[in-house]
Amino acid sequence: MKIVMSVFAALAVVMSTGAAQAQEKVKFAYLRTQVMMPFLYAEQKGYFGQEGLAIEFVPVQGGPAVAAAIASGSAHIGYAAPTPIVMARQEGQPYRFFIGLEWERSPDYLWGPLHASERSGVRSFRELAGKTLLVGPAGGLCELAFRDWLAKSGVAWDKVKVLYIPFPQHQAALELGNADAACTPEPFYTAIANSKVKPALLGMGYLAEEKRKYVIDGLFATEAWIKANPKVIDALKRATVRAIKDLNADPQLVRKTLLEDFKLPASLVARLRTGFDPNLAISAADLEPIIEAMRRNGMLRQNLTAADMVHTGK
């Protein structure tokens, strides 16, 4: 009997070792924003594991840092806005987006708030000349947003002072008067809107009154990794869509996650949007408005096209 039990125990070890080896390891560089919630939830619920994926989340401070993580080999895939990844591509990094997450279209679907503190006295983009702006990471989507709105309002970029400060620090900088205006994504903007900053909303949308639909963040990787891992990408999509369906079906679950995992106060959580787009598709057309805006605002030197930046699955 002891021999039989030993054989079964040995078989169990072999089987468990084989199952562990079957898990495809994927290092995922990200910054902690509300859009990342479905991925973190999918990991918590075991959805990635059920698809044969072992996801290792690598937290960083912004889109450029995500790009650097992939360039160094410390991550395989990354979450970021398009602008820093397009800029990395023009510097020779072979990046492409393979999943689209959020998008905007004026005037009906907008995420990006550009705002000024009450103490600044600023109530329009034209009044920002000579003022100090907070834009998050250099080369990020918020930098493009301010460049685009200021250009539309006739204010040259060199007429403002720019501070590249992480989004969680925007509220303190505005309260102290170290800056006059900011571009701040959620959930940080809602916190500012309910603080003593008392912000005046100057505009909504990362591109100034752009009527076409355009993607504002997604997942990317190198061309070589994408080509070598189509099954991993499909599994990642299935697990993520499953998590999105869970979250969309239960707004209270989203709020609970924001409270417990993101450590946000209840008063703030109650004001945040809770829905996520389950489509995950991305096309060159979705990125074209961003490429055009980068080019007209001096953030893109080379003749890159949107098609250069998107993996279509072909």
- Looking at domain 113-204, which CATH architecture does it have? 3-Layer(aba) Sandwich (3.40)
3-state secondary structure the chain: CHHHHHHHHHHHHHHHHHHHHHCEEEEEEECCCHHHHHHHHHHHHCHHHHCCEEEEEEECCCHHHHHHHHHHCCCCEEEECHHHHHHHHHCCCCEEEEEEEEEEECCCECCCEEEECHHHCCCCHHHHCCCEEECCCCCCHHHHHHHHHHHHCCCCHHHCEEECCCHHHHHHHHHHCCCCEEECCCCHHHHHHCCCCCCEEEEECCCCCCCCCEEEEEEEEEHHHHHHCHHHHHHHHHHHHHHHHHHHHCHHHHHHHHHHCCCCCHHHHCCCCCCCCCCCCCCHHHHHHHHHHHHHCCCCCCCCCHHHHECCCC
For domain 22-105+213-309, which architecture applies?
3-Layer(aba) Sandwich (3.40)
pLDDT of residue 20: 47
pLDDT at 18 over 70: no
pTM of the model: 0.87
Query: Do 22-105+213-309 and 113-204 agree at the fold level?
Result: yes
Mean pLDDT of the chain: 90
Domain boundaries, the chain: 22-105+213-309, 113-204
Band of pLDDT at residue 313, cut at 50, 70 and 90: confident
Q: What pLDDT was estimated at residue 117?
A: 98
* Mean pLDDT calculated for residue range 50-55: 98
